């Protein structure tokens, strides 16, 4: 009886490995994910030396978590409407210099991680991310944030550490948020 159970377990495991993938929703390889596009919920393509947003990502209608961190991506696509189910987007450590209007299409995003880029401009459309609770912008070239960011009623924390700002700029940014938002900043500098 025990022997039959062990053999059955091994056969079941092998079948799932060879044919199944039906219970897998998390992928770390784009080619493997493309074999099961409907099942992809989480996709991690970090440190893949990507220079642009992979066009194949549009094939994953159920994608909720996307990690493109530590690549060399310079810009976001002009149309992100195919990613309306996305809840977490990690673009930390890329070469982005701005957040374009397309970011506003990510209506279900709860966490946006875009620290350690070269961002100097954040679009007003950031305010369209009504579900956003965490925004990470550390170590960028930001001196101001758009007024629209104050519309993020569910925002709990924004991380702006590592950005050189004088006290006046810091106060202006803090004024955009209510007392319930944890605004993380480095010590102000004596700069303009």
Q: Are strands 121-122 and 157-160 parallel, antiparallel or unpaired?
A: unpaired
pLDDT tens digits, one per residue of 131-176: 999 999 999 999 899 999 999 999 999 999 999 999 999 999 999 9
The yes or no reply on domain 25-185 and CATH 3.30.930.10 is: no
> Distance of CA 140 to CAs 35, 85, 117, 160, Å?
36, 27, 5, 8
CA distance 139 to 15: 47
Q: Name the pTM for this structure.
A: 0.87
pLDDT tens digits, one per residue of 38-66: 999 999 999 999 999 999 999 999 999 99
Burial 24-57 (b: 16+ CB within 10 A, else e): bbebeebeebeeeeebbbbbbbeebebeebbeeb
> What secondary structure, in 3-state letters, does 50-110 show?
CCCCCHHHHHCCCCCEEECCCCCCCCCCCCCHHHCCCCEEECCCCCCCEECHHHHHCCCCC
The percentage of residues in the chain with a pLDDT greater than 90, rounded to a whole number, is 84
Q: In 3-state terms, what secondary structure has residue 19?
A: helix
CA distance 46 to 159: 21
Model confidence band, residue 6 (pLDDT cutoffs 50, 70, 90) = low
CA distance 185 to 31: 40
> Distance of CA 151 to CAs 121, 133, 141, Å?
18, 12, 22
pLDDT at 192: 73
């Amino acid at each position: 009886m025990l022997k039959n159970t062990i053999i059955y377990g091994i056969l079941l495991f092998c079948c799932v490995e060879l044919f199944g993938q039906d219970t897998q929703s998390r992928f770390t390889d784009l080619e493997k994910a493309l074999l099961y596009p409907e099942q992809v919920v989480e996709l991690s393509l970090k440190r893949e030396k990507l220079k642009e947003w992979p066009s194949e990502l549009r094939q994953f209608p159920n994608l909720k978590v996307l990690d493109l961190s530590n690549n060399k991506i310079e810009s976001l696509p002009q149309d992100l409407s195919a990613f309306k189910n996305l809840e977490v987007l990690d673009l930390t450590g890329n070469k982005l210099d701005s957040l374009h209007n397309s970011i506003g299409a990510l209506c279900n995003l709860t966490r946006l991680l875009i620290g350690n880029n070269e961002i100097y401009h954040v679009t007003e459309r950031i305010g369209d991310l009504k579900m956003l609770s965490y925004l990470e912008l550390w170590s960028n070239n930001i001196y101001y944030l758009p007024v629209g960011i104050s519309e993020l009623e569910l925002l709990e924390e924004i991380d702006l550490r590592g950005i050189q700002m004088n006290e006046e700029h810091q106060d202006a940014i803090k004024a955009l948020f209510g007392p319930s938002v944890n605004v993380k900043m480095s010590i102000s500098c004596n700069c303009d």
